[in-house]
Amino acid sequence: ETEDGKEKLSKMIELMDGFKASKVLFTASKLHVFDVLRSSKTGELQAEDVAQEIKASMKGTERLLEACVSLGLLQRTGKEYANTAMSRHFLLSDGPLSLQGYIQHCNELVWPLFTHLETAVREGTNQHEKAFGKSSDNLFQDAYYSRHEVKLRFMKAMHSIAKVSGRDVATAFDLSKYKTACDLGGCTGAMAYEFAKAHPGLSVTMFDLPEVIEMSGHFRPHDADDRVSFVAGDFFKDELPKADVYILARILHDWSDEKVHILLSKIAKACNPGCCVLVSEIFLDEDRKGPSRGLLQALSMTEGRQRSASEYSLLLKSHGFTTAQVKHTHNLLDAILCVAE
Q: Which residue ranges make up the site for ligand SAM (CB under 6 A)?
A: 140, 158, 161-162, 185-187, 191, 208-209, 212, 234-236, 249-251, 254
Residues shown for the chain: 341
Which of 251, 275 has the CB closer to ligand SAM? 251
The one catalytic residue in 128, 253, 319, 328 is 253
Distance CA 60, CA 199 (A): 49
Which of 143, 187 has the CB closer to ligand SAM? 187
Which of 177, 242 has the CB closer to ligand SAM? 242
Q: Residue 318 — φ and ψ, nearest 5°?
A: -70, -10
CB of 260 to ligand SAM, least distance (A): 12
- What sign has the CA pseudo-torsion 262, 267, 306, 211? negative
CB of 235 to ligand SAM, least distance (A): 4
Q: List C-alpha distances in Å: 262 to 5, 38, 209, 313, 315.
A: 51, 48, 17, 16, 11
Residue pair 156/104 in contact (Cβ under 8 Å)? The answer is yes
Nearest to 45 by CA among 68, 24, 27: 68
Distance CA 126, CA 142 (A): 13
Which of 162, 309 has the CB closer to ligand SAM? 162
CB of 138 to ligand SAM, least distance (A): 8
Residue 248: in which H helix or E strand, if any? strand 245-249
CB of 151 to ligand SAM, least distance (A): 9
* Residue 319 appears among annotated catalytic residues: no
Distance CA 195, CA 184 (A): 13
| Exposure string over 149-168, b if 16+ CB within 10 A, otherwise e | ebbbbbbbbbbbbbbbbbbb
Residue nearest to ligand SAM (CB): 185
Which of 51, 338 has the CB closer to ligand SAM? 338
Which of 95, 241 has the CB closer to ligand SAM? 241
Residue 189 CA to chain centroid, in angstroms?
A: 13
DSSP annotation of 274 reads T
Task: List, by residue number, the catalytic residues.
Answer: 253
